[in-house]
Amino acid sequence: MSGEPVHSAPRFKPGDAVRIDDRAAHGHCRTPWYLRGKTGVVTEVQGAFRDPERLAYHRSGLPPQVLYKVRFAQPDIWKTYSGPSTDQLEADIYEPWLQSTT
C-alpha cells in the first residue's frame, strides 16, 4: 500500500462486490457520474490518502480516506455498449462512495 497510514481497517478487500453510491455530488467530486449506482468488484486496496474532495476547498483532507481500485464490466455501465462483453473499466474510488452489496 502507498499513501498515508490507514488508521482503521479498510471496509472492503479484493474480490468484494461493491455498489457506487448514487447520491448527488455538490462541488468537487472524484467519483465519475457514470459509475454512480453501478456495481463492481474491488481489485486492490491502494492505501489511505488525504480526501481530494476536501483538499479542493483548501481544507486539510483529513482524516485520510481509503482508496480502492474497482473493476466494472463495460456492458454494466453503458446500456448501448456494443463491444465485447468481457471489456472492463477500472476506476479509483474512495471508501465513502462505496456500499456493500450484501
**Gap between the Cα atoms of 44 and 67, Å rounded:** 9
Confidence (pLDDT) at 11: 96
- Domains, the chain, ranges and CATH? 2-100 (2.30.30.50)
pLDDT confidence of 1, banded at 50, 70, 90? very low
Q: 76 in helix, strand or coil? A: helix
How confident is the model over 48-78, as pLDDT tens digits? 999 888 888 888 889 999 999 999 999 999 9
CA-angle at 76, arms to 96 and 71, nearest 5°: 50
pTM of the model: 0.88
